[in-house]
A and B are shown apart, each in its own frame.
Chain A
Amino acid sequence: GQQVMQIPQYQHVQEGEDFTTYCNSSTTLSNIQWYKQRPGGHPVFLIQLVKSGEVKKQKRLTFQFGEAKKNSSLHITATQTTDVGTYFCAGRSNYQLIWGAGTKLIIKP
């Protein structure tokens, strides 16, 4: 079946370091969405990318959608403690929303 692979599963960083999570789909996506889930909370919508090669920025967050519309990435510059949580991608394909497994961002003490 259709899958969206998201890596890595976990990423430990020092505060101030950068963080990146990647999503790869087995099929071409019509769009891809990114969500953030804080520990104990529910997923919060961050952004949707629709166009091939699209790049969008939200402050320290940069979102990219690949040219083939099969992969996407979220990059956080200079992480802060408020960035802690799990970041999910969700790709839309054939009217289904297919979720990645999420990448957990952990800030080292």
Chain B
Amino acid sequence: GAVVSQHPSWVICKSGTSVKIECRSLDFQATTMFWYRQFPKQSLMLMATSNEGSKATYEQGVEKDKFLINHASLTLSTLTVTSAHPEDSSFYICSASPQGSAGLLSSYEQYFGPGTRLTVT
């Protein structure tokens, strides 16, 4: 149980185009989903937290107009990288939390998707 999928698993796009990455919780409802970016040999960097039906909360330094996040249902969140540039090339990982929100002290778990490798040429 608690499977999270991402699509596509890898994508190559040309500079200036937009790319949409989907994150789905397959066997549970996720009130909160997280989007991370990981550079080679570095830790995950939280980009934004999205709660179903509301606007995403972006971390400091993350451009909300460039990285559009939509969490339209309890099982789907999308990240759209708009006007992609080579510096946006990275590994993007989503995770989904089956209960609670980012602000609660109560125990919750994050289940990670397999990631999407984006290469912008």
Contact = CB atoms under 8 A, between A and B. Distances in A.
B109 interface: yes
B89 to A, nearest CB: 18
B112 A99 contact: no
Interface string B88-115: 0000010000000011010111111111
Q: Is the interface of B mostly helix, strand, loop or mixed?
A: loop
A50 B109 CA distance: 12
B38 to A, nearest CB: 9
Interface residues of B, number: 20
Q: How large is the interface on A (under 10, 10 to 19, 20 to 34, 35 or more residues)?
A: 10 to 19
B18 to A, nearest CB: 24
B36 to A, nearest CB: 9
A43 B103 CA distance: 22
Interface in B45-96: 45-46, 59, 93
Contacts of A48: 107-109
28 contacts: A31-B105, A31-B107, A33-B110, A42-B93, A42-B112, A42-B113, A42-B114, A43-B44, A43-B112, A45-B109, A45-B110, A45-B111, A45-B112, A48-B107, A48-B109, A50-B105, A50-B107, A88-B43, A88-B44, A90-B44, A95-B102, A96-B59, A97-B34, A97-B102, A99-B43, A99-B46, A100-B43, A101-B42
Closest A-B pairs by Cβ, 4 of them:
A99-B43, A42-B112, A95-B103, A42-B115
Interface of B: 34, 42-46, 59, 93, 102-103, 105, 107-115
